[in-house]
């Protein structure tokens, strides 16, 4: 695997020189974070980011993410224009030599938490989610600031979007995803780019909106929609693991053996009660990361992997979940697991451990 870390560009409090001090990390996951959904990403813009990354001594491994416009998810006649733009962006990614594009298909809201800084017993803070809090919120009241919400939406725009989604159930959302993939996967193939859909986070409906990328059957269904090596997954342990019914090592084996895991997010969470969890140190939590890494090793995974969200520790600075220190600890933990598994299997790691 190729150990990587997310970087949000020049405005990120965590700099490339900071990341360069994390052992084993030589890949960067990034994107164009100043463009609205639906805009074309150009080769020039991506090339500029890539140059910064390479000047820092890294490879630009994954774009995370090129947002999918709501009109595509809604299935309106306007979607074709945005799909054409998306295909152009994929072509630009291929031209820039960036091999993987991550995306999601969550209506209106991206990943959602109810607390950006829950105090943990050790004094650190972490992202957390409590479904009872979400269930008590009226998203149209305008009195909440949950992360993952598109801050650019006014209350009226949110109301219009919710009204537009009223006829869109899970079946319709699947149809709209199929329509999208049938058009963008050929463009990805032509560009030499692999696409990886990110699971819904959390993997259940919020505010009555459909969420469909939630479990093993859903991930297999995505793959089956367009049978192409370019159509694959961003396998996120924290998102899928929020549902204890999801057997993560088994899922890694199933999709890894098919060669359809194009990008890996590895983080841990502590499940406290039904649909309630907080993010935890990588070695501690409810998820079997050893079993996950063993499955990755056994299927011969060679893609990019990042340690994903971390706690805020030691007076760290950074975007919520994206400080330096705990993500660095997570990266080293994943490297250690990989080395141990390699040695168990008679492989002698070298300095190029991340690529064993």
Residue of 26, 82, 86, 198 with catalytic role: 198
**3-state DSSP assignment of residue 16:** helix
Is 302 one of the catalytic residues? no
β-partners of residue 30 are 63
Query: Residue 125 corresponds to which tokens in the numbers above?
Result: 């803070």
Residue of 87, 102, 236, 266 with catalytic role: 236
Q: How far apart are CA 109 and CA 303, in angstroms?
A: 27
Is 33 one of the catalytic residues? no
Is 262 one of the catalytic residues? no
Residue of 69, 86, 201, 265 with catalytic role: 265
Cα 170 to its chain centre, rounded Å, is 21
Is 265 one of the catalytic residues? yes
**3-state DSSP assignment of residue 199:** coil
Residue of 82, 165, 322, 325 with catalytic role: 322
Euclidean distance between the first and the last CA atom of the chain, given in angstroms as a whole number: 7
Residue of 262, 278, 282, 309 with catalytic role: 309
Residue of 12, 308, 316, 326 with catalytic role: 308
Show the 3-state SS of 103-161.
ECCCCCCCCCCCEEEEECCCCCEEEEEEHHHHHCCCCCCCCCCCCCCCCCCCHHHHHHH
Is 282 one of the catalytic residues? no
Q: How far apart are CA 65 and CA 29, in angstroms?
A: 9
Q: Which residues are catalytic?
A: 198, 236, 265, 308-309, 322
């Amino acid at each position: 695997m190729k150990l990587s870390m997310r970087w949000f560009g020049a405005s990120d409090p965590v700099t490339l020189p900071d990341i360069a001090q994390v052992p084993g990390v030589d890949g960067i996951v990034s994107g164009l974070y100043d463009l609205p959904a639906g805009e074309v990403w150009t080769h020039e813009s991506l090339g500029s980011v890539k140059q910064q990354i390479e000047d820092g001594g890294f490879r630009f491994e994954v774009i995370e993410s090129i947002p999918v416009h709501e009109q595509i998810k809604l299935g309106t006649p306007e979607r074709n224009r945005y799909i054409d733009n998306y295909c152009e962006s994929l072509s630009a990614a291929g031209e820039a030599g960036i091999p993987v594009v991550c995306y999601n298909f969550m209506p209106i809201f991206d990943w959602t938490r109810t607390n950006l800084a829950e105090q943990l017993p050790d004094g650190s803070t972490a992202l957390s989610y409590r479904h009872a809090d979400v269930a008590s919120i009226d998203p149209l009241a305008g009195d909440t600031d949950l992360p993952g919400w598109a801050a650019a939406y006014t209350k009226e725009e949110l109301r219009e979007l919710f009204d537009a989604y009223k006829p869109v159930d899970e079946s319709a959302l699947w149809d709209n995803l199929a329509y999208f993939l049938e058009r963008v996967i050929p463009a990805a193939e032509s560009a030499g780019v692999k696409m990886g859909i990110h699971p819904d986070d959390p993997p259940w409906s919020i505010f009555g909106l459909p969420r469909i990328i939630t479990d093993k059957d859903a991930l297999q269904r995505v793959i089956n929609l367009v049978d192409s090596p370019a159509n694959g997954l961003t396998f996120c342990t924290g998102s899928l693991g929020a549902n204890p019914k999801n057997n993560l090592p088994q899922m890694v084996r199933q999709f890894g053996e098919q060669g359809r895991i194009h990008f890996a997010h590895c983080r841990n969470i502590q499940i406290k009660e039904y649909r309630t969890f907080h993010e935890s140190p990588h070695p501690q939590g409810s998820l079997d990361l050893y079993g996950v890494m063993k499955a990755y090793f056994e299927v011969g995974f060679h893609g990019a992997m990042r340690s994903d969200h971390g706690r805020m520790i030691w007076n760290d600075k950074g975007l919520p979940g994206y400080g330096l220190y705990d993500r660095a600890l997570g990266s080293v933990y994943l490297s250690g697991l990989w080395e141990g598994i390699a040695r168990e299997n008679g492989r002698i790691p070298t300095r190029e451990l991340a690529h064993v």
